Structure 1
Amino acid sequence: MARTGSVTVPRGHVEAVDIDGNEHAVKLGIWMTNTKSRRGKPDQAQLAELGVGWAR
């Protein structure tokens, strides 16, 4: 949210993540869609703390 000003992620969004000097492509949009469809799971509380409205 700090970088973009929003927690809205388009389904097709791919985020580049650096892990130990290696760049990996993470399909963040698909992960968010899947997580949203599994409401009530442990990830939801963590997402709500980050400001994701539908996770509450």
Structure 2
Amino acid sequence: MAQYKDREGHLKVARAHTETVVVEDQEHTVKLGVFLSNTKSRRGKLAADKLQQLANLGLDWAT
């Protein structure tokens, strides 16, 4: 998510957007839009520390 925000300057991610990330020299495709949509709809079940991490990235719905 931080990679997307650094590149695009915002976190208004389309639901169909996929992001390629590199972890330990391996590329992985992440369905970022689906992740954010699902997380937002289930935010009531998230732990406070997870919500705070999302808020720190700039997601206003996580506050």
Please, what TM-score do these two structures have when normalized by structure 2? 0.78
Instruction: Kindly indicate whether residue 57 of structure 2 is the aligned counterpart of residue 50 of structure 1.
Output: yes
Q: Which runs of 5+ in 2 are unaligned?
A: none
Matches within 5 A, 1:1-16: 1-16=5-20
More helix by share: 2
Cα RMSD, aligned residues only: 1.1
Number of residues of Structure 1 aligned to a counterpart in Structure 2: 56
- Detail structure 1 runs of 4+ shifted over 3 Å in the superposition: none
Distance 2:37 2:52 in 1: 16
How high is the TM-score relative to the length of structure 1? 0.86
Structure 1: runs of 5 or more not aligned: none
Q: Say if 2:28 is the partner of 1:29.
A: no
